[in-house]
């Protein structure tokens, strides 16, 4: 881990990036209050909100221009994911972005499907485990998607169902569903090492975007608890003046600061130097998952019994912290992937 290489360490957003973040922040603040999140339960999908998001370019922005998109990079997409995460927006933004970008990069992508993906009219899911290892699996976004991008051996396929399978009701109220990836209509869109690379890239993008969403989730959960701690009194003082409350909340702020920047750096490297520092994407994901679990738990707990009730908005955040972070499997796999990448870099001399 060479720490003496001279590199820029600029985590700031450009004015264009700030504009993107602000636009989506305002959109979700206006369109997606907590009531709308609750109304979308248990499916975790609000079709009207999805369409509004698509109208803003949310379904297509990450696609290349030839596929009807804006050519936005993963760095730009993470800004949207963070805002969607903060609002707990019931839309399959992340799965759709990762899967449709893989589709657009695949040589055999059906043009019609790509165009429908760009408009948001067809939602794509992403199978998080190789289909030849386990054909029947829980697919994120799978309860609202009729097309799932999956890897089977060294073949990248789109699996099609006439109707999305039934929701598998779950802790995070996300549109999770069982898909049998060996059944249905399978269309190969890429094969060989290129297909495996596309799938790995899609998973890495899903992880970066989910990590960003978890950062947004954690920060909003923190501010809910901070507001509570400022006004709630015990023994004649606001509880937020007590170190037993303020220090745990400070710990959440510490986690958010590092997780947000680590996700940005990981995304930037994935976009610009994907062969280098390959430990960063799994590191950012594992850290964001840890920070979210800790942050959502702490924020709910600092509101005492009230934070344990489903009436409290804190509950929405608590349930999704795990509801989002284990969709691709145990984050410990990411921890191990960090060590693998570091050992590879050591062997390869960088």
Partner 1 sequence: MDFSPVRLDTGQQEFLDEVRSFLAEHVTEDVLEEERRTGSGFNERVHLALGAKGWLMPAWPAERGGAGLDPVRARILELEMRRAGVPSITTGTTNLVVKAVEKYAQPDLAAEVLPAVAAGTVRLCLGYTEPDGGSDIAAAKTRAVRDGDEWVINGSKIFTTGAQNCQYTFLITRTDPELPKHRGLTMFLVPLASKGVEIQAIRTYGGERTNIVYYSDVRISDRYRLGGVNDGWTVLRGPLDEEHGYGRGTGAQIGDVSMGSSFLHTLRRAIDGALVWATTPRDDGSRPIDDRMVRYRLGTVAIHMEAGLATQGPMARVKGSEALVRGAAQLVDLVGPLSLLSEGTPGAEVTGIIDYAHRFAQGTATYGGTVEVFRGIIAQHVLGLPRPNYPGSKVLVSRKRDAGKAA
Q: What angle do CA 144, 289, 203 make, to 5 degrees?
A: 50
Q: Is 268 in the site for partner 1 (CB under 8 A)?
A: yes
295 makes contact with partner 1 (CB under 8 A): no
CB of 315 within 8 A of CB of 217? no
Phi, psi of 15 (to 5 degrees): -65, -35
Is residue 5 near partner 1 by the rule CB under 8 A?
Answer: yes
Torsional sign, CA 193, 195, 200, 201: positive
Of the candidate residues 72, 75, 158, 281, the single one contacting partner 1 (CB under 8 A): 75
9 binds partner 1 (CB under 8 A): yes
Element (H, E) at 160: strand 155-160
Q: Which residue from 48, 250, 306, 310 is in contact with partner 1, where contact means CB under 8 A?
A: 250
Dihedrals φ, ψ of 231, to 5°?
A: -105, -30
* Contact positions with partner 1 (CB under 8 A) in 114-133: none
Among residues 23, 226, 274, 326, which is the contact residue for partner 1, using CB under 8 A? 226
Q: Residue 15 or residue 163: which is nearer to partner 1 going by CB?
A: 15
Q: Pick the stretch among 113-121, 152-160, 274-282, 317-325 that binds partner 1 (CB under 8 A).
A: 274-282
Residue from 253, 301, 322, 326 touching partner 1 (CB under 8 A): that is 253
Pairing of strands 124-126, 147-152: parallel
Asked if 234 touches partner 1 (CB under 8 A), the answer is no
Which residues share a beta bridge with 157?
Answer: 150, 188
Q: Are strands 233-234 and 185-191 parallel, antiparallel or unpaired?
A: unpaired
User: Does 13 help bind partner 1 (rule: CB under 8 A)?
Assistant: yes
Nearest to 123 by CA among 143, 157, 146, 105: 146
- Name the residue nearer to partner 1 (CB basis): 61 or 126: 61
Q: How far, in Å, CA of 48 to CA of 15, rounded?
A: 30
Is residue 4 at the binding interface for partner 1, with CB under 8 A as the rule? yes
Q: Which of 332, 300, 342 is nearest to 318 (CA)?
A: 300
**Residue ranges binding partner 1 (CB under 8 A):** 1, 3-14, 17, 75, 222, 226, 229-230, 237-238, 240-243, 246-247, 249-251, 253-255, 257-262, 264-265, 268-269, 272, 279-280, 282-283, 286-287, 332, 334-340, 342-343, 346-347
């Amino acid at each position: 881990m060479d720490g003496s290489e001279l590199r820029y360490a600029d985590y700031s957003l450009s004015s264009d990036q700030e504009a993107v973040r602000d636009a989506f922040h305002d959109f979700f603040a206006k369109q997606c209050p907590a009531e709308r999140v609750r109304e979308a339960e248990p499916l975790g999908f609000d079709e009207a909100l999805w369409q509004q998001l698509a109208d803003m370019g949310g379904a297509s922005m990450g696609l290349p221009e030839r596929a009807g998109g804006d050519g936005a990079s993963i760095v730009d997409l993470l800004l949207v994911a963070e805002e969607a995460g903060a609002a707990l927006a019931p839309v399959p933004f992340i799965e759709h972005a990762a899967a449709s970008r893989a589709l657009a990069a695949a040589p055999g992508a059906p043009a019609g499907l790509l165009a429908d993906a760009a408009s948001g009219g067809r939602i794509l899911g992403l199978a998080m485990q190789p289909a030849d290892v386990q054909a029947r699996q829980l697919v994120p976004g799978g309860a609202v998607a009729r097309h799932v991008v999956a890897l089977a051996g060294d073949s990248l396929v789109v699996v099609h169902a006439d109707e999305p399978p039934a929701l598998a009701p779950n802790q995070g109220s996300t549109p999770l569903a069982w898909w049998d990836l060996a059944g249905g209509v399978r269309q190969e869109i890429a094969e060989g090492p290129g297909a495996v690379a596309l799938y790995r890239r899609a998973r890495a993008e899903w992880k970066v975007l989910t990590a960003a969403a978890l950062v947004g989730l954690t920060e909003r959960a923190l501010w809910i608890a901070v507001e509570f701690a400022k006004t709630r009194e015990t023994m004649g003082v606001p509880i937020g003046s007590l170190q037993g409350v303020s220090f745990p909340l400070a710990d959440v702020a510490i986690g958010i600061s590092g997780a947000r920047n680590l996700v940005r750096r990981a995304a930037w490297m994935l976009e610009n130097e994907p062969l280098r520092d390959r430990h960063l994407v799994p590191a950012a994901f594992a850290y964001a998952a840890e920070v979210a679990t800790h942050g959502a738990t702490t924020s709910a707990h600092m509101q005492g019994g009230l934070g344990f009730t489903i009436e409290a908005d804190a509950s929405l955040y608590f349930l999704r912290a795990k509801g989002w972070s284990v969709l691709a499997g145990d984050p410990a796999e990411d921890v191990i992937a960090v060590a693998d990448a570091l050992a590879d870099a050591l062997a390869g001399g960088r």
